[in-house]
Structure 1
Amino acid sequence: MDRIDAMRAFVQVVQEGSFTQAANRLDTSPQLVSKYVSQLEQRLGVRLLNRTTRRVNLTEAGEGYYQSAQQVLADIEDMESQLGDLQADARGTLRISAPVSFAIHHMAPLLSAFQQAHPGVKVDLQLNDRKVDIVEEGFDIALRIGHLRSSSLIAKRIAPVRVVLCASPDYLQRHGSPEQPMDLIDHHYLHYSYMDPGLGGSALKCLQRNRQPLSMVSNNGDVLVAAAISGAGIALQPTFIAGAAIRKAQLQVVLPDYEPEPMALYAIYAHRQLLASKVRSFIDFIDGYFGDPPYWDEF
């Protein structure tokens, strides 16, 4: 027995005053309505209705159950209505995890435009370069940069991420501009401590075999790009951070023919089925937003 269907049948019988009229309202047979009510009484162990040939009347137990059943059915209808609204019109709080530097440089205009398009959505943006557990930590979406590995999560590729070696014109004038990867061995290397281990290439290997101690190590790419602009050494950084400085000639790309294989920006989320409208709306909105190639590569 479906408890909700039985409850609906009972409430309809009380409101209509007969099994036949209740069956008409529910678009079913009087026999099925009677069966539902009888099964409900058997389950509860009490008589809910006194039946006569002309009318049905509530018992004392039926009166109390009727009031409660009405409230339960109203709550269910309200809940379903709210869920329907969520699917029809994106609303609620959207929790997003994003890499620090990427978010600082590129997320504000995106989120502003998204909220103008979906004013019912409140955004909770948390910046972190570590790999968050979106399910355990309660995120709807995580933006991740790298080479995607197998996962039970759903991943949507958003944009390519180009990574370049770069240094200031002053540094290259003082130390020489490398012409092949082996020339990097004696250069000052500004190392990003969260560098994707899958980021290969002969240039990176030469930097990692640097004969001198690392000039600087940081877990923040903006710091390393700023250090490179000031002449501290050569940095291996994504163009979404370094692109503006390259465009202004504050940095020069080194060994462009030996760039590592491009990475990508992904939107990661937990489920493909029954996706909340706030999540689906954001995925649809961010897809193609940055361009391909993205605007930060225009230098």
Structure 2
Amino acid sequence: MDRIDLLKTFVVVVNEGSFTNAASKLDMSNQLVSKYINQLEKHLDARLFNRTTRKIHLTEAGYQCLQHANHILESVNDMEGQLGLLNSQVKGTLRISAPVSFSTLHLSDCIGQFQTQYPDVSINLQLNDRKVDVVEEGLDVALRAGVLSNSSLIAKKVTTIKLAVCASPQYLKKYGTPKHPRELRPAHYLEYAHVNYDNDKSELIQALRTNAQKHAPRLTANNGEVLADVAKHGEGYVLQPTFIVSKALQSGELVSILENYVPQSISLYAVYPHRKLVSSKLKVFIDFLCEFFDDTPHWDR
């Protein structure tokens, strides 16, 4: 039997003055009330009541137990009330990790609108393209793009991320437009450092992997925006998510190539530690993210 429940039963017996009245108050049998008190006395190795046929009286140990029990139960009630308030009210600080380019290009608007709707929520946003340890670094949630590995973390899909192979018009005019991945020039690849396509068997990825073994990429960087800007100047081709290159594609600064060979779309996930112990602030933030970006995000419409 839970010790808190034993203490609650003990306090009710004291307040009601008898086992019978306590049983009625607690909606249980006299025998069960007596059993709980016996269990508590056995656990404490002390007699709590002197019993007569008509009345019960607290022993000295019983008086001491009552003082401690009232204090313990009051603390438990305070804790439950405070935690319940935290979980029912949308307030507090959210610690978030998110990819750099996605955040600078698209997340700021989302966060601004979220905080307008929920002004009592503070955001601590950490931008990093590395895979952070959500639990170890004390984060509430991390946004991750790609195929997730198996873990104890919970993942909620936020939106779909399409990929595109791009080059500038001047680059294509100078070197021609490739019709097949094997026609790509290995030395002209502008490579994103953090990408991992080990499980991707598409012809394009196989070609990029084979080319990398033959010739080092012209540029490797851990920021996709920098790579896309270099590609705009005719210095090579990139494989980047459309949330980075969509504006350049719409303006004609970049041209999409090899569309039939582009790897399948990936997803952006909100990753967090617990399924059951989700605070209201985190729940409404994840729901807001999913609604804001939708499965087809605005940059692909």
TM-score higher than 0.5 here?
Answer: yes
Greater mean deviation of Cα atoms: 199-208 or 141-150: 199-208
**Partners of 1:201 and 1:45 in 2: how far apart?**
71
**Partners of 1:250 and 1:195 in 2: how far apart?**
24
Whether contact under 8 Å (2:16, 2:22) holds in the other structure is yes
Gap change, CA 1:199 and 1:35, over 3 Å in 2: closer
What's the % identity of the aligned pairs? 48
State the partner residue of 1:57. 57
State the partner residue of 2:224. 221
State the partner residue of 2:40. 40
Tell me the C-alpha RMSD between the 2 structures: 2.7
Summarize deviations over 1:258-294 as a string: whole Å, max 9, x none: 3222222122233434543333333322224213321
SS of alignment partner, residue 261 of structure 1: coil
Summarize deviations over 1:89-148 as a string: whole Å, max 9, x none: 344433322222112212222223333444444333222222223233333322221134
User: Deviation at 1:240?
Assistant: 0.8
Aligned length: 298
How high is the TM-score relative to the length of structure 1? 0.86
User: Deviation at 1:2?
Assistant: 3.2
Alignment of structure 1 residues 162-241 onto 2, 5 Å: 162-185=162-185, 188-197=188-197, 198-208=199-209, 209=211, 213-241=216-244
Gap change, CA 1:65 and 1:259, over 3 Å in 2: same
**Partners of 1:158 and 1:165 in 2: how far apart?**
23
Does residue 295 (structure 1) correspond to residue 298 (structure 2)? The answer is yes
**Partners of 2:9 and 2:22 in 1: how far apart?**
7
Greater mean deviation of Cα atoms: 265-274 or 162-171: 265-274
Report the AA paired with residue 239 of structure 2. L
Gap change, CA 1:77 and 1:167, over 3 Å in 2: same
State the partner residue of 2:273. 270
SS of alignment partner, residue 293 of structure 2: coil
Gap change, CA 1:10 and 1:250, over 3 Å in 2: same
Gap change, CA 1:129 and 1:44, over 3 Å in 2: same
Does residue 126 (structure 1) correspond to residue 126 (structure 2)? The answer is yes
SS of alignment partner, residue 40 of structure 1: helix
User: Deviation at 1:88?
Assistant: 3.1
Does residue 10 (structure 1) correspond to residue 13 (structure 2)? The answer is no
User: Deviation at 1:239?
Assistant: 0.8
Report the AA paired with residue 81 of structure 1. G
State the partner residue of 1:156. 156
Report the AA paired with residue 128 of structure 1. N
**Partners of 2:105 and 2:118 in 1: how far apart?**
22
Report the AA paired with residue 225 of structure 2. D
Report the AA paired with residue 292 of structure 2. Y
SS of alignment partner, residue 137 of structure 1: coil
Unaligned runs of 5+ in 2: none
Gap change, CA 1:133 and 1:237, over 3 Å in 2: same
Unaligned runs of 5+ in 1: none
Greater mean deviation of Cα atoms: 216-225 or 104-113: 104-113
SS of alignment partner, residue 171 of structure 1: helix
